[in-house]
Structure formats: C-alpha cells, structure tokens
Amino acid sequence: MSRPLKVGLVGTGRIANRHMAPYLQHPDRVQLTAVCDVVEPAARDYAKRAGVDDVYLDLDDMLRRADIDAVDICTRHDLHAPQAIAAAEAGKHVLVEKAMANSVQECRDMIGASDRAGVTLMVAQHLRYSRHAAAAKRFIDGGGLGEIEAVRHQSTSGGNMPDDTGHWMRDAKYAGGGMLMVTVVHHLDLLRYFVGNVKRVTAICRTLQPYRLNGAEDEVTAILEFENGAIGNVFTKGNARSPEPAYYLVYGNKGTLASTPPEPTRKMAITQFGRHRVSLNTGEVLDVHNEDDLKKILQPEFEPLPADPADQHSDDYFVNEVLHFEECCRTGREPISSGRDNIETIKLIMGIYESSRTGKSVDLDTL
Ligand SMILES: NC(=O)c1ccc[n+]([C@@H]2O[C@H](COP(=O)([O-])OP(=O)(O)OC[C@H]3O[C@@H](n4cnc5c(N)ncnc54)[C@H](O)[C@@H]3O)[C@@H](O)[C@H]2O)c1
C-alpha cells in the first residue's frame, strides 16, 4: 500500500471539528500533519485534540513544508480562493469547504491554478458523500423516476434567531452572500448532482433582518430552468417558522423523490440531510368512493429509499468525503465535487443574485 496522504488543515473553527474524524479513523490513508489558524489558542487546542504537533499561524509558512501533500481549507468563503490558489501554486492538492468561492471568476482562477500545478481541487460538498445520496443518484440515473420534470427546495432558518451581528456568515463581504451561500448552497448542489446543470434563473432576493450585512439576503424566491428541460423552484426565508426546516423534492414522470426531515439534534441540522423517500406512480386511476380513496390521492405512500452500505465507507459523510479526496489525489481521478463541477453551483447562486439585481432572467453561460 502507498503511504498516507499528508494533510495540513487551515482554519480550526466549527467545521474543522467535523473534518477531524477521517484523520483520526483512517491514519493509513490520510495523516493530519500540521494545522494552521490565525488564532493561536484555537490552533493549539485543535492540534492537541487531533494529536498533531506542528502548529502554524500563517498559511504560507505551512505551505513551505515539502512533506505536506494536500491542504484542507476550512476558513471563511472570502479566503477560499486566495488560500486554494496559494496551496496549488505550492504544489499541494486542495480540499476546500463550501461555498467554493465568492465569485465565478475566483472559481475559474482556482481551477486554473490547480490545473497548471497538476493537483486535485475538490469542494467539500458533504451531502453528496452519504450512502443515501449514492442510492438516490443511482435510482435517478437508472431511470427510477423516469424523466425529471421539476424540482423544488424550501428552507427556513427557524423563528427568533439570535441577533448575531458581526458574525462573518451574516456578512456578504465575507460570505459572498446570505442564506444561499451559507446553507442553501448544500441543497442547490445536491439538486445539481441529481438533476444536472441549470441554464437560466429568474429571482428576487431581499434582506429583511437588520443583522444581515452588506446585502446578505435572507429571503429568496427563484425559478430555475435546467439544461435537461426540468424546471425548479427555490424558496428560502430567514427568521421564519415552518413545519419542516428544509426539504427538497425531485419530480419525474414515473414518481417523486423527497428528502426526509432531519432529526432535531444538537448537531447542525444541515448535516442530517441525505435520506430520501420515494413514491412511484402506479398508473391506477382512482375514483373517490370513500375516505381511503381520498387518502390514496391526497397522501400517497412514500417508501424509504434504502441505502447500500457497500456504497461508502462510513455513515459519516465527512469521513467519506475526505477518503474520496485521498483516492482522487492518489489516482488522479476527478472528484465527484471537483472545482470544475462546483463552479456550476456558484454560477447558479451568482445568477440568482444577478437576476434579482437586474430584474431580468439570467443565462448562466453568460457569467
Ligand atoms: N459542511 C457544512 O455543513 C458546514 C458547516 C459549517 C461551516 N461550513 C463551511 O466551513 C468553512 C468554515 O466555517 P466555520 O463555521 O468552521 O467558520 P469558523 O469561523 O468557525 O472557523 C474559521 C476559522 O478560520 C480561522 N481563520 C480566519 N482567517 C484565517 C486565516 N487567514 N488563516 C488561517 N485561519 C484563519 C478563524 O480563526 C477560525 O478559527 C466555511 O466555508 C463554511 O461555509 C460547512
């Protein structure tokens, strides 16, 4: 067996904790060799918990190490492009958290730098790396839903959220936008994975909460037109209550795939997505004679879509994601969520912003 991929991780905040498991569980494949954060106590605390001796306060210093093969970037969105480009230019493979970057041009620059250096560039879209996502992808690609005709996504962030003015995730200057860039990006990316690329969008975005800064939107309605002819609808609203915090649906001419509601746990709700239910059209024409007939029409049965344990190593998406990255670095295979793929997710979000700004539909190939 070849030696493990040696990784330096930058940004030891919230999501870096979820990236730690693969390094601790699979030292034969990925070895966390160094960590970097501008806040020294955060970096030292993380390094201690991960069993890493080498701590850096500056990424360039960490990149000078010849024995690091790859960099795992877990910092703010505005830092993704400069840090990914610096890492690629230092000859390191790059795993970068979502959202890939704050503009389409930044994504192009990241892809260009990694191509020139001949290194792997992968975006950590963790929802793609569950056994359940693999099962849904196989089901859809195998024609289980028939021709995909429409998709729908809705998310709300819950009522009475704390006023967290000043957090970078609520400030478009750092996050590149609002709810679309911070949370909805997961669902839009998953829908792209299942259905394909979007070619045109028409949208309205608004900012209602005073603690959302520099135009970070908290209300969006968008119409999507996919390249394969499907249409879509995206609605998101901050500080709002709804029976389910988020869901998505994929409608085909043979049936419908629906996400399952996440369990309410103390973990981030977004990490819970990825399980699905399916309801297939039976073709049966129902006359309504009684309550049972009515129920069959109004509340059709949705069966869980079973996951195949053979599809992924683990129940933990983050473990699968990092192991997929290692495999791609080792073999040269294009990651499922490569930079070349994920620029399309950023184009979709930037297209929604552009449409809202101009009041016109936007063709994504013009971005
Ligand atoms: N996949 C998911 O479900 C998920 C969930 C949360 C966050 N994220 C993503 O992870 C990334 C980080 O988010 P977070 O919530 O962990 O943020 P965070 O603010 O908790 O952590 C970021 C860390 O980066 C450090 N940092 C800032 N500037 C730096 C620099 N120049 N060099 C080195 N370190 C620097 C900060 O000190 C902090 O420790 C974002 O892209 C975010 O969207 C993904």
Ligand 1 pocket check: which of 36, 55, 58, 75 to mutate, most ligand atoms within 8 Å of Cβ? 75
Does the pLDDT of residue 222 top 70, yes or no?
yes
Residue of 315, 101, 351 whose CA lies nearest to 232: 351
pLDDT given at position 309: 84
Domains delineated in the chain:
5-126+316-336 (3.40.50.720), 128-313+346-366 (3.30.360.10)
Give the DSSP H or E segment for 346: helix 339-358
Q: Which atom of ligand 1 is nearest to the CA of 16?
A: 16
- For ligand 1, atom 40, name the residue with the nearest CA: 76
244 band by pLDDT with thresholds 50, 70 and 90: confident
Whether 98 is in the pocket of ligand 1, judged by its Cβ within 6 Å, is yes
Does the pLDDT of residue 266 top 60, yes or no?
no
Whether 79 is in the pocket of ligand 1, judged by its Cβ within 6 Å, is yes
Q: What is the pTM of this model?
A: 0.95
- For ligand 1, atom 38, name the residue with the nearest CA: 13
Q: What 3-state class would DSSP assign to 61?
A: helix
**Amino acid, single-letter form, for residue 359:** G
Please work out, in degrees rounded to the nearest 5, the angle formed at the alpha carbon of residue 68 by the alpha carbons of 62 and 71: 70
Q: Which atom of ligand 1 is nearest to the CA of 97?
A: 41
C-alpha of residue 17 to centroid of ligand 1, in Å: 10
C-alpha of residue 170 to centroid of ligand 1, in Å: 13
**Amino acid, single-letter form, for residue 2:** S
Q: Which atom of ligand 1 is nearest to the CA of 15?
A: 16
Does the pLDDT of residue 271 top 80, yes or no?
no
C-alpha of residue 267 to centroid of ligand 1, in Å: 16
Rounded alpha-carbon distances, angstroms, from residue 329 to 1, 203, 229, 332, 350:
15, 38, 35, 5, 29
Rounded alpha-carbon distances, angstroms, from residue 52 to 7, 12, 318, 336, 360:
11, 12, 19, 29, 51
Whether 367 is in the pocket of ligand 1, judged by its Cβ within 6 Å, is no
Whether 75 is in the pocket of ligand 1, judged by its Cβ within 6 Å, is yes
Q: What is the pLDDT of residues 75-129, one digit of tens each?
A: 999 999 999 999 999 999 999 999 999 999 999 999 999 999 999 999 999 999 9
Cα 60 to Cα 190: distance, rounded to the nearest angstrom: 33
Whether 87 is in the pocket of ligand 1, judged by its Cβ within 6 Å, is no
Q: What is the pLDDT of residues 153-174, one digit of tens each?
A: 999 886 555 566 788 999 999 9
pLDDT given at position 310: 84
